[in-house]
Amino acid sequence: MSSTPLSAPPIAKVSGLRFEYPGVRALDDVSFSLERGTVTALVGPNGAGKSTLLRCVAGLETPALGEIEVAQIDVLEAPRKAHRCLGYLSDFFGVYEALTVRQCLQHAGAINGTPESELTAAVERTARRLGLADRLDVQAGTLSRGLRQRLAIGQAIIHSPQLVLLDEPAAGLDPEARHALAVLFRELQAGGMTLVVSSHILAELDEYSTHMLVLRAGRVVEQRELRPDDAHHARRMHLTLARADERALAVLSSQSQVSEVEVDGAAIAFAWQGEAGAQAALLRALVESGLEVIEFGEVHENLHDSYLRTLAEPRP
């Protein structure tokens, strides 16, 4: 499991969480923390405990043991206070069908602590963000599935929470609506919100997730950053030569930033921990040593690959 930088306190911290259903330990000693401004893909097989975990963090379920902090507020001790800092969208949500979109958003904002003086502006801002501005006076019950989903997300974020938990937010949406959702999530992240998104559609999560949290049988089996973009993280690189050449290994071994070299004929993979300038220098050294380089670059492991690799690892 990766550790988070300690420059700012994590937005959420879960420790020793245990939740039991009759005969089943849905969550077993779950501990993790979430960095601010990240988008964490919460993934795992069916029944892994994803929805239960989100409901516990949201303060909707009481765990048997453990502690949950959101924005340094103890969720179990002060759930109402914590709710001002978080938004949650359940996988099975409903909307007030007899109210208009404006009334739904106004109510959601008011019950989540948005001051009355800021409510109108918050409603309009949220409606614009979700593409609902032209439907503010339409009854929620008449909206399509996709628009209802947008309204529900609007209800979860209208009070500008620091942490947003979304359980299967794209379920039942068409590809266009899913793409719009991905764009929205990136905007929310850019605006400083931290998101946790649980979904089975890994390709969609890959569009906007920065971190991955894998649950299996109620336990966290991995939590890590998906695409570290700084020099402090080791990245996987690949080098392809026109033909196999032993000099490549010698050049790579001479570099202190290179480790875990794997040679497969003309294809070489290795771990690299260095800046862009050092990376250019390595390429220059390879070419100047007479190697016929035809490919050199970073291996981008997508969420799907990471997830399958994690699940393939033996259970602790």
Partner 1 sequence: MNPELRRNLWLELSTHRLVAMPAVLFLVFVLFASRNVGDWAEIVFTTAIGFFVVIVHLWGAYKAAEAVTDEVRARTWDWQRLSALDPWRMTWGKLAGATAFTWYGAAICMVAMMVAAIGGAERRSAAVYICGLVALGVTLQGAALAASLQASRKSSRLGQRVGILIVFPVAALALFTLTGAQPPRLVAIEWYGHEFESLRFYSALAVVFALWAVLGAYREMARELKMRLLPWAYPAFALFLAAFIAGFAHESIAFRSTFALSGLLVSLTLAYYGIFADVTSAMSLRRLALHWKARHWRRFLEELPLWVAALAMAFVFALLCTQILSSSAEAPLAILPRSAGLYPFAVLLVGVRDCLILVFFALAPRGRGGPEAVTLLYIALLSWILPAVLAIAGMGAVAKLLMPFGAFNGWQAALVMGVHVAIVAALVAWRWRRWDRAFRGA
- Residues in contact with partner 1 by CB under 8 A are 20-25, 28, 58-60, 62, 64-65, 76-77, 79-81, 83-84, 86-88, 90, 92-99, 103, 107-108, 110-113, 116, 155, 159
- Least distance between partner 1 and beta carbon 155 (Å): 6
Q: How many angstroms separate the CA atoms of 64 and 18, rounded?
A: 6
Residue type, 256: S
Hey, which bits of 117-173 come out as E strands? Answer: 163-167
Q: Minimum Å distance from CB 168 to partner 1?
A: 14
Q: Closer to partner 1 at the Cβ: 158 or 303?
A: 158
Judge residue 140's burial from the number of C-beta atoms within 10 Å of its C-beta, 0-12 exposed, 13-18 middle, 19 or more buried.
Answer: buried
Task: Say which residue the tokens 């409603």 belong to.
Answer: 123
CB closer to partner 1 out of 62 and 253: 62
Q: Shortest gap between Cβ of 43 and partner 1 (angstroms)?
A: 22
Q: How far is the CB of 8 from partner 1 (least distance, A)?
A: 24
- Rounded to the nearest 10 degrees, what angle do helices 145-157 and 116-129 cross at? 140
* Residue 118 vs 305, nearer CB to partner 1: 118
Number of other CB atoms surrounding residue 263 within 10 Å: 15
Alpha-carbon radius of gyration of the chain: 23
As measured in angstroms, the least distance from the Cβ of 223 to partner 1 is 22
